[in-house]
Homo-oligomer: A and B are copies of this chain.
Amino acid sequence: MSAPPNSWQAVQDEVLRRIHSRDWAPGETIPTEAELARELGCARATVNRALRGLAEAGLLERRRRAGTRVAALPVRHARLRIPILRHEIEALPARYGYELLSRRMAAPPGDLRAAPGAPPGDMLYLEAVHRADGAAFAHEARWLNVGAVPAAADTDFTALSANEWLVRNVPVSEGRIEFLAEAASPDEARLFGCAIGTALFRADRRTWNEGRLITFVRQTFRPGYRLETRI
């Protein structure tokens, strides 16, 4: 439980202790790296590693020349794992099932066409269900830019989900996700065996690589689904 006396973690713990004890109050400037290194009897690089971590966590604010201050209102960050659905279902645990419902080239809706890096013409539309022990777990509606991912045109996605195929085959430089709640459509209600209008958890994800839109996917989860994360 206790780190070696001169480790960067020990330094981090000590700094955290001083913050929590209000020894260093929010907004206050703390000693410089050199001073802390002298006081704690370690190298400056060690202090730097410790403080850098706390700055990334939002607890400290660092600026050259101005020094390091305790954040007045620490913005908490949570780290969200984005597993592929197969892994999430197998971890339940449950037997994973996948079924492709639709695959065709089509014109994407206007808001998607207006997205940065979107192609001018048609995109590949894929619709699929992910099942847990046979029951629908998540519905997936995806638009795929075959211009940016030519290999996708030769893949039928009946055996391997686009979800997993993309993770394995396409590098992604940037992504944006939105989580929201929405009422079940008639199709979704049928799929999940729930009433029309039932509140469903949804994730809209867009990913880009080098400025080109790769895919937009809307995943809708079965009633009762919860997305968990830790701070």
The answer to whether the Cβ of A178 comes within 8 Å of any Cβ in the partner chain is: yes
Q: How far is the CB of A178 from chain B (nearest CB, A)?
A: 5
Q: How far is the CB of A47 from chain B (nearest CB, A)?
A: 16
CA distance in complex: A195, B139 (Å): 26
The answer to whether the Cβ of A83 comes within 8 Å of any Cβ in the partner chain is: yes
Q: Of the candidates B81, B174, B201, B225, which one forms a contact with A75 in the assembled complex, judged by CB atoms under 8 Å apart?
A: B81
Q: How many residues of A contact B (CB 8 A)?
A: 48
CA distance in complex: A177, B76 (Å): 12
The answer to whether the Cβ of A175 comes within 8 Å of any Cβ in the partner chain is: yes
Asked if B176 and A230 make an inter-chain contact with CB atoms under 8 angstroms apart, the answer reads yes
The answer to whether the Cβ of A65 comes within 8 Å of any Cβ in the partner chain is: no
Q: Of the candidates B26, B171, B207, B231, which one forms a contact with A176 in the assembled complex, judged by CB atoms under 8 Å apart?
A: B231
Which B residues are in CB contact (< 8 Å) with A168?
26, 72-73
Asked if B73 and A177 make an inter-chain contact with CB atoms under 8 angstroms apart, the answer reads no
Which B residues are in CB contact (< 8 Å) with A76?
81-82, 167, 172, 175
- Listed in ascending order, the chain A residues whose CB lies under 8 Å from chain B are 19-20, 26, 72-84, 87, 164, 167-168, 171-172, 174-183, 197-202, 204, 207, 224-231
In the complex, the 9 A-B pairs of residues with the closest C-beta atoms, listed nearest first:
A175-B231, A181-B181, A199-B199, A76-B82, A20-B171, A181-B199, A181-B201, A78-B80, A179-B227
